[in-house]
Copies of this chain bind each other. A is one copy, B any other.
Amino acid sequence: MRPKLILYFFLFMTISVGYTQNYSGDETEINSILKNIEAFSQYVINADYGNLGAAYTEDAKIFPNNKEIISGREAIVDYWRLPEGTRITYHKIFPEEIKIIGDEAYDYGYYEGKTLKNDKESRWRGKYVIVWKKMEGQWKIYLDIWNRVAN
């Protein structure tokens, strides 16, 4: 039906962290998305707003809790910008499934992080769904929605 879509389907349990990873799609593309997921965490930790913005499509939408949908790269970067005295010292994303369908993909899983605010550390954990789009050979985040998991 979609002859161009070569399907690799590899399912493996990572016993050490106790979750299932289910990646479906061309292996090179999957690896490219996985690399972007890791880089995203690094941009958050580094407060690297240039690269954080570039991780999204121009017309991306994010869905933070208790807010309206935020649309467009500039508004999204504004949302991510941390106030003075606040740093995110740790950020990690654990994708449970990535499925590539042509030039789009969806991905869901968990994330966790640590915030340092005026020398006080808080930890948080949540879950997310992302819709990716391949734009000029690069996988970019188009839809990004998440909410917390109770500690």
Contacts and interface: CB of A to CB of B under 8 A. Distances in A.
Contacts of A131: 106, 129, 131
Nearest to A142: B106
Contacts of A120: none
A114 interface: no
- Among A61, A64, A102, A131, the one with the most B-chain Cβ atoms within 10 Å of its Cβ is A131
Nearest to A130: B129
A106 B148 contact: no
B149 A147 contact: no
Contact of A145 (B68, B129, B148): B129
B2 A127 contact: no
A1 interface: yes
Nearest to A125: B68
A47 interface: no
A104 interface: yes
A58 B87 CA distance: 41
A150 interface: yes
Interface of A: 1-2, 4, 61, 63-69, 96, 99, 101-102, 104, 106, 108, 110, 127-129, 131, 143, 145-150
8 contacts: A63-B128, A64-B147, A67-B149, A69-B96, A108-B145, A128-B145, A129-B131, A145-B146
Given A2-B2, A67-B149, 10 more contacts: A1-B4, A63-B128, A63-B147, A66-B150, A69-B96, A108-B143, A128-B145, A129-B143, A145-B145, A145-B146
